[in-house]
Amino acid sequence: MNRNIVCIGAGYIGGPTMAVIAKMNPDRKVTVVDINKTRIAAWNSKTFALPIYEPGLVEVVKEVRGKNLFFSTEIDKAVREADIIFVGVNTPTKMFGKGAGRASDLQYWEATARNIKKIAKGDKIIIEKSTLPVRTAAAMDAILNSPDDGGKGGPRFTVLSNPEFLAEGTAIRDLMEPDRVLIGGPETPDGRDAVRELVSIYQGKDLKWVPSYKILTTNVWSAELTKLAANAMLAQRVSSVNALAGLCEATGADIDEVARVMGADRRIGSKFLKAGPGFGGSCFKKDVLNLVYLCESFGLHTAADYWMGVIKMNDHQQERIVSRLFKEMFNTLANKKIAIFGFAFKADTGDTRETPAGTVVRLLADEHVRIAITDPKALPNAKLDLVDLKGAEIVYEADAYKAAKEADAIVVMTDWAEYPKLDWAKLYKSMRKPALVYDTRNCLDTAALRKLGFKTLNIGKR
């Protein structure tokens, strides 16, 4: 009999991951639970108005919801009935006490583990899906398997680490065709059995999902650290290319040319060399900070400083954008209108967590700029994020043309595919002159914009 799966946490990771697990394992029941009633209601919405936007997600949910995929707020019931429990709750940066601003806040994880222990009747496999500091599995094992029943007869819990590498905007593709699946398990008979079970889930029914050679198994600590390391390496590449972008602007080199030629070296590779407004998203900053904290905790201060540099470079990138605007717009921004094109942290998502556009908008609001924000998917989140900016003059406009009307400048913050296709002559006509476009994603045709009369700024080129 195939064993039931539950996932605790119905967010960006729990929802898409479980939808694809259910699709590829039609013989297993998969239930996703969350304490957030609104979120679960949205996952169950009759019109499929799901709580997150991901290309291809609605189609998968339509295929499996109500068949072998269920969303529920009845956490205890689902945990009792499940044999395999994924935990995909949030692990934000801790904002208080020891490690504040760096360490992971593990309170949600620990509360979840304690609740599982309280409710569970039979043996269970517990799978870390959230990104966690190295050795969290050991702490979870200690909590779950503590002998408060005298050590005899209670259920046994086996903790595995199975970090997720999907990126937002391409989540369904990444899940369907992952570069690799990583499973870390203990070197014990129970551990090996649990790893085998999880491998069979990723292979899918009739071995139709992930080929065995892509399923990599390691010890638990390597799996936990690999997730932080992979995100840190990706973030480091973005900060490195952005550090070079400033130098390109100063010297007349072109960062896109430099990146193209660097990336043609197979040892370097072409991915993650796109200069821009800096990385956003819920994980890069949090995970690099977590790595910094781990290094510090083990006395590796030089390594901690090295990784901290990745964050500092990223913060600097957004400050630099506003400084260049300031300089280009005659050293005064007060009462000028600036249209922000794109608020999502990257294209094809409505997610705005740690978005560079948020930082830029706040810096512009400090300068008393009149701001119009447009974005095809992220306006609801933008409004929530900026709710505290009470005195600032900010309008949210779904129509990019309306956002740009009578603006002094357009700042492209997200590389949505529709932006290069806009009628830029029409935009130019409706703006105040001199009209400026600051393309922080280098996604527009600068020569064509200049021909229309725009002044232009890019990242990493003159």
Question: Could you list the active site residues?
Answer: 283
Amino acid letter for position 393: E
Between residues 292 and 435, which has the closer beta carbon with respect to ligand UGA? 292
Whether 89 and 112 have beta carbons less than 8 Å apart is answered as: yes
* Shortest reach from residue 58's CB to ligand NAD, in Å: 17
Number of residues that bind ligand NAD (CB under 6 A): 26
Binding window for ligand NAD (CB under 6 A); candidates: 62-70, 84-92, 215-223, 242-250: 84-92
DSSP labels, 128-184: E-S---TTHHHHHHHHHT--TTTTSS---EEEEE------TTSHHHHHHS-S-EEEE
- Rounded to 5 degrees, φ, ψ at 126 are -110, 130
Q: CB atoms < 10 A from the CB of 284, how many? A: 23
The pair of three-digit structure tokens given for residue 383, joined into one six-digit string: 């409004």
Q: Which residues, in sequence order, are CB contacts of 375 under 8 Å at separation 6+?
A: 341, 342, 343, 344, 382, 414, 416
Give the one entry of ligand UGA, ligand NAD, none that residue 443 binds, where binding means its C-beta sits below a cut-off of 5 to 8 angstroms depending on kind.
none
What residues from 300 to 329 belong to the interface with ligand NAD (CB under 6 A)? Answer: none
Applying CB under 6 A, among 30, 79, 137, 166 the residue interacting with ligand UGA is 166
CA 302 to chain centre: 27
* Shortest reach from residue 10's CB to ligand UGA, in Å: 16
- Rounded to 5 degrees, φ, ψ at 180 are -160, 155
Binding window for ligand UGA (CB under 6 A); candidates: 164-172, 179-187, 199-207, 357-365: 164-172
Cβ contacts of 229-233, under 8 Å, gap ≥ 24 = 229/291, 230/165, 231/131, 231/283, 231/284, 231/287, 231/288, 232/287, 232/288, 232/291, 232/307, 232/310
Is 342 a binding residue for ligand UGA by CB under 6 A? The answer is no
Between residues 86 and 416, which has the closer beta carbon with respect to ligand NAD? 86
Applying CB under 6 A, among 43, 108, 202, 438 the residue interacting with ligand NAD is 108
Binding window for ligand UGA (CB under 6 A); candidates: 53-61, 90-98, 120-128, 278-286: 278-286
Distance, in Å, from the CA atom of 299 to the CA atom of 288, rounded to the nearest integer, reads: 17
* Shortest reach from residue 167's CB to ligand NAD, in Å: 6
- Local structure of residue 271 (DSSP, 8 states): T
Contact characters 118-137, ligand NAD, x per CB under 6 A: ------------xx------
Give the one entry of ligand UGA, ligand NAD, none that residue 11 binds, where binding means its C-beta sits below a cut-off of 5 to 8 angstroms depending on kind.
ligand NAD
Is 157 a binding residue for ligand UGA by CB under 6 A? The answer is no
Is 234 a binding residue for ligand UGA by CB under 6 A? The answer is yes
Distance, in Å, from the CA atom of 117 to the CA atom of 76, rounded to the nearest integer, reads: 11
Is 70 a binding residue for ligand UGA by CB under 6 A? The answer is no
- Residue ranges in contact with ligand UGA by CB under 6 A: 131, 164-168, 231, 234, 238, 272-274, 276, 279-281, 283-284, 345-346
Residues that bind ligand NAD (CB under 6 A): 8-14, 34-36, 39, 75, 88-91, 108, 111-112, 130-131, 164, 166, 168, 282-283
